[in-house]
Structure 1
């Protein structure tokens, strides 16, 4: 193991045996079959996983639920023994894994600080000295002297994370535990993680948040069904993870082959952008004599909105919401910094008055990021006759950070003067799209700063 390495994993495998009925485990233990046939079935949580993490590196792990991420972290932390292979670790580890791990539910928070701190290698004198800082960071007030079995999940995480970071670890392992904390605490935690990173610690970070992976990590690895399929720059890892996440089942196999090929050849967007673009099936100019300008934008047929919901039509119908690029091609994978148009058609079945249209961009968690109306309050379309068809076009610059987003589409107006203005039709999560960034992104936070300029074309048929 090199003196520059913090963690080296070689051929790691973890196999569990599952049984159809509980008593089969006992039968197999005391009455093994003479022919060697087992009652249980082997489940490979990890299969031949290998990698090396340098000291001071922040390393991200991505993968769908059940891909082996948590099992891998438990093996690295020494909680689980691998079935095959070995892992070598150089440095003091502080691991924030399962909620409440290392806590005794009957002990108070203060008692658990001493227990958990001791498990992480902190002596009594150091604990006494750092206790005020730990309690101040956790910020759970008088509950510190209450049994932790009465704590909420957020209070568990506050206390556990506070202890872990005050150990001053050489290696910090975080497994999505921060997702249960409130926004203010998450921001405080990520700020502290950045401080630990600047101090030279090695950080192993598991998250479903691609923005966190891109902002924090130097490299990232993608796991699928217990196997490593890609290790390289975070941008390529995120692109591969998201393509697999949203792909139709019949396309997953070919995507896994592309990813493994990129992994074997060491191809990534930061080092070999042209090769990575070809492997990820993004567009590259055909004429190799030209200056190669790679564009990540494309249409991924597996990326669809599964949460789409249409309200009842009330005199109008929204048709085919879509995003198109500057050449008019439909896309749902967008490149940060480029211009796009959000387009939908509207057919009117009733005479409508004071008509205007709207769009709204939302995050995966439902946060309303930005929206716009096609008209000012006193500038709506005064009258639209039944049978008319309108095309609505919102021009916008994509300054969104990498991630997956959803678009709403709406049409407002008056069809009954006794009722007044109302939605004539509305579609929630009408269109899903993903944003990717070429090269290595800056450290950023939040969502984006987008400018929307509406344009409406009306044709009466």
Structure 2
């Protein structure tokens, strides 16, 4: 079983004002002639055996640098990393592959770097070829490979034998949808068998389905740590904060963390899910006709207003979402003090379970331009199967059946 312990980890690079300053520092007295540029500072976290943790953050936050420090391909300026167990890492695309050697030759070289013997690699080679699915290219020079073929082979080698610790950067995002599905399925299987996983990804669904926890890096520091849903919500809000929004997280009575962000020109003042009689409901039957009623208060003049909503399952994964921009029903030139009421009517064709509604008030199709308000867990409700035939899944799609013999 593998584990990772990161304590007070930091990485800084020397910045010289001119190339001559570097030379002067080497040969002339007078002390340092550089400044330190900190990429990471005071990073502390721990992965217990069998745990899966995801790392997210905008480009330049320090994610790839952190993985390089953990795997030992770069040395820290401060702090230390302690890893137990056999480690397999997939960082930069094709890292360690020689472009003039064939895929097969690179497999033997990369496998030995992972601690496998030549005999073990020879035994695993048929499985590696089958998983990579690059055909005759396995005996062609790597320089003729596409980026997708390279990541297929690199992942196949790194995971040919179940490691105690698996570290994966965003390289998997290069592969096609089929190979991504295949790769994540192997990761899930290894997790079930006890592999400790550290992964960098911006795929919310993958993060929430695989990881126990998530870590948000921002400007080289650990900004947030918690459940994948909580951290991903905070991350989305943090992106909007760059545009002048505020971000707030509070814990609901149900124990979940609600994230709210926005500049405040407009806010949701009320939200209910109602049955056909107009009565607010918290528990509803599968397939019930419902109306989502959202009241919006305008606090400052708004040139264009779009309301969006998203229904999520208990893990925070999107089930359905839309907005009035896509419906071609935005509102324009609203004045301070106005109140707007939206009513969305639809059949609740969801499977049994608990769900939440997220609302967004913006000026366009996303909340990244003008984020007036983004509110996660704005409404919670439960769907029960009271009188439908038994089924599984998050959607009720009962078919008519015709059988011909």
In structure 2, the residue matched to 1:165 is 159
Say if 2:312 is the partner of 1:336: yes
Contact 1:405 1:432 in 2 (8 A): no
**C-alpha separation between the residues in 1 aligned to 2:96 and 2:139?**
17
> Is 2:261 the counterpart of 1:327?
no
Q: Does 1:86 align with 2:80?
A: yes
Structure-to-structure mapping, 1:348-359, within 5 angstroms: 359=327
Cα 1:342–1:405 change in 2 (3 A) is closer
SS of 2:79 mapped into structure 1:
strand
Conservation of the 8 A alpha-carbon contact between 2:170 and 2:200: yes
Shift of 1:20: 3.7
Equivalent positions of 1:307-456 (< 5 A) are: 326-329=293-296, 331-332=307-308, 334-336=310-312, 342-343=323-324, 359=327, 395-396=345-346, 430-432=364-366
The one of 9, 14, 17 equivalent to 1:12 is: 9
> 1:271, 1:114 → 2: CA distance?
53
Partner of 1:142 in structure 2? Answer: 136
2:212 — aligned with what?
A: 218
User: Once the 2 structures are TM-superposed, how far is the Cα of residue 156 of structure 1 from its aligned partner?
Assistant: 0.7
Corresponding residue for 1:277?
Answer: 258
The question of whether the paired residues in 1 share the 8 Å contact of 2:93 and 2:147 is answered with yes
- The CA deviation string for residues 278-312 of structure 1, in whole angstroms up to 9 with x for no partner, is 78799999xxxxxxx99xxxxxxxxxxxxxxxxxx
**Change in 2 beyond 3 A, CA 1:343/1:74:** closer
- Contact persistence 1:278–1:284 (CA under 8 A): no
- The answer for the alignment partner of 1:207 in structure 2 is 201
Instruction: Flag structure 1 segments of 5+ consecutive residues without an equivalent.
Output: 260-266, 286-292, 295-323, 345-357, 361-391, 407-428, 440-447, 452-461
Residue aligned with 2:104, SS: helix
Q: How does 1:47-196 map to 2 (within 5 A)?
A: 47-196=41-190
After alignment, is 97-106 or 6-15 more displaced?
97-106
Are the counterparts in 1 of residues 259 and 375 from structure 2 also a CA contact under 8 Å? no
- TM-score, with normalisation over the residues of structure 1? 0.61
Q: 1:95 to 1:204 in 2, by over 3 A?
A: same
Shift of 1:326: 1.0
Q: Which residue number corresponds to residue 228 of structure 2?
A: 234
Report the Cα distance in structure 1 between the residues aligned to 2:254 and 2:72, rounded to whole angstroms: 34
Residues 422-448 of structure 1, C-alpha deviations (whole Å, 9 max, x = no match) = xxxxxxx94226895799xxxxxxxx8
CA distance in 2 between partners of 1:341 and 1:140 (Å): 39
- Kindly tell me the number of residue pairs found equivalent between the two proteins: 323
Distance 1:234 1:92 in 2: 26
Structure 2 contact 310–357 (Cα < 8 Å) conserved: no
Deviation at 1:47, TM superposition (A): 0.3
CA contact (8 A) 1:221 1:231 kept: yes
Aligned to 1:376: none
1:31 maps to 28
Q: How far apart in 1 are the matches of 2:357 and 2:22?
A: 44
**Conserved? CA contact 2:233–2:376, under 8 Å:** yes
Q: Which runs of 5+ in 2 are unaligned?
A: 271-280, 283-290, 297-305, 314-318, 329-341, 368-373, 381-393, 398-405
